Amino acid sequence: MQTITRPAALVRQGSLKLYATSLKVSDLRRPNFYTINTLDPDDAGPGYQRLLNEGRAKRLAEYLLDGQTERDAFLPTSIFLATNKDIPFDSATNTISFEVNEIGPFNVVDGQHRIAGLVLAADKNPELLQFEIPVNIAVSLDDISQMCHFLIVNTTQRSVDKAIEQQIVARLTKMVGLEKTPTIPRWIRRQVERGEDARALNVANFLNTDARSPWLGKIRMANDEGDGATINQKSFINSIKKYIFSANNPLSNPVWDGSRPMILSNYWTAIVELLIDEQSSTPSVLYKTTGVDLFHIVSATVFTHLATRSDFKKETIKALMKRGLENLPDENIAMSHPEWWHRGGVASGLNSAAVRKLGNALSHAINVQDNTSNISL
């Protein structure tokens, strides 16, 4: 007999009866302990679970194995198991006790990747068999109710907002080496060690707060619900990381960390002076993801020209950009006019492929100019 006895708290939510408890990984590995009722797209059966993402489970296992070494691995979020049978509760001892062969297998309503990662990690390090995971067990719950609860859990829960994640990673970057930090998943650790989020946030914060910046108040930072922003922090930071920190962009070099924010402020000021009509009341797509991505793509070419002279003044950038816009081929020349960038116009309908194509066209136009070294200021 496989009897499991665990401390538990009885929780009632309407007609739902739950036991809040914990299980060891060794319990999860018992034969016939749980099942994952996967949705079959060609079947009208009771399955509802997503397919297991083995890569995600593997990443979790790596984190647990690293954390076990330091004794600081933790998974505080509970998994949600369900059974259509009842489990008796001993109110005198606050425990539940059940036979696995009689009650199991439990259906995994939420947490299949955590279970898979735990089991995979324990296969590599048996010490993790004693690792405990918080568990909520719903009892006397039929298959249709389990499916509904899966839908509720996975449509009402939200993952951490990407902008908040960027802020946290940036702060961790500053803390590493100064304070003892717990074991964190390898993908997060690599992100922290690269420091890109911290450097990109430094740029965004400067552009969003400096009185001289054309981006003043236009970037909606994490947890900022104020009006006036045209782009969110997540999109702006992702664009910087993808294009400004690209290997072919001179500004990716950490040597520019101190001056990069001011250089980009000069760059965007030059663009705005060329392509925004201050007399027009129509908002410009330049301040949306389309404009940001396009001119961040072009920036690699612009800064390659200017880095050789170590001249990143606004007027120098403006002169180079102006000649590039004037040198565009006929099919792209319209983008050199402010009206083309008006919201609701051509620029508003561009997809990412079109943005990249136009960015490459402008980069080429800058590169084929004559006498770029003699730009008059």
Summarised one tens digit per residue, pLDDT across range 329-354 is 999 999 999 999 999 989 999 999 99
pLDDT beyond 60 at 324: yes
What pLDDT was estimated at residue 144? 67
pLDDT beyond 50 at 373: no
Separation of alpha carbons 239 and 242, rounded Å: 5
CA atoms within 13 A on the CB side of 159: 3
Rg (CA), the chain: 28
Structure-token pair, residue 249: 């962009």
pLDDT beyond 60 at 361: yes
What pLDDT was estimated at residue 332? 95
> Please, what is the average pLDDT of the chain?
86
What pLDDT was estimated at residue 49? 54
Q: Answer yes or no: is 192 within a domain.
A: yes
- Which domain does 312 fall in, by range? 167-374
Q: Which of 157, 178, 195 is the last residue of a domain?
A: 157
Select the more confidently predicted residue: 72 or 49: 72
Residue 188 sits at φ, ψ, to 5 deg, of: -70, -40
Amino acid at 9: A
What pLDDT was estimated at residue 193? 75
Buried b (16+ CB within 10 A) or exposed e, 273-310: bbbbeeeeeeebbbbbbbbbbbbbbbbbbbbbbbbeee
Q: Answer yes or no: is 291 within a domain.
A: yes
- pLDDT band for position 377 (cuts 50, 70, 90): very low
Give the total number of structural domains in the chain: 2
Q: Which of 157, 183, 208 is the last residue of a domain?
A: 157
Q: What is the pLDDT of residues 124-147, one digit of tens each?
A: 999 999 999 999 999 998 876 776
> Whole-prediction pTM value?
0.64
Q: Answer yes or no: is 162 within a domain.
A: no
Min mean pLDDT across 217-226, 249-258, 262-271 is at: 217-226
Q: Are residues 54 and 147 in the same domain?
A: yes
Q: Are residues 199 and 229 in the same domain?
A: yes
Q: Are residues 306 and 205 in the same domain?
A: yes
Q: What is the pLDDT of residues 156-179, one digit of tens each?
A: 666 667 787 777 777 777 766 545
What pLDDT was estimated at residue 187? 66
- pLDDT band for position 40 (cuts 50, 70, 90): very low
Instruction: Please compute the mean of the pLDDT values over residues 211-232 and round it to a whole number.
Output: 87
Give percent of the chain above pLDDT 90.
Answer: 59
- pLDDT band for position 372 (cuts 50, 70, 90): very low
- pLDDT band for position 180 (cuts 50, 70, 90): low
Q: Are residues 86 and 187 in the same domain?
A: no
What pLDDT was estimated at residue 71? 79
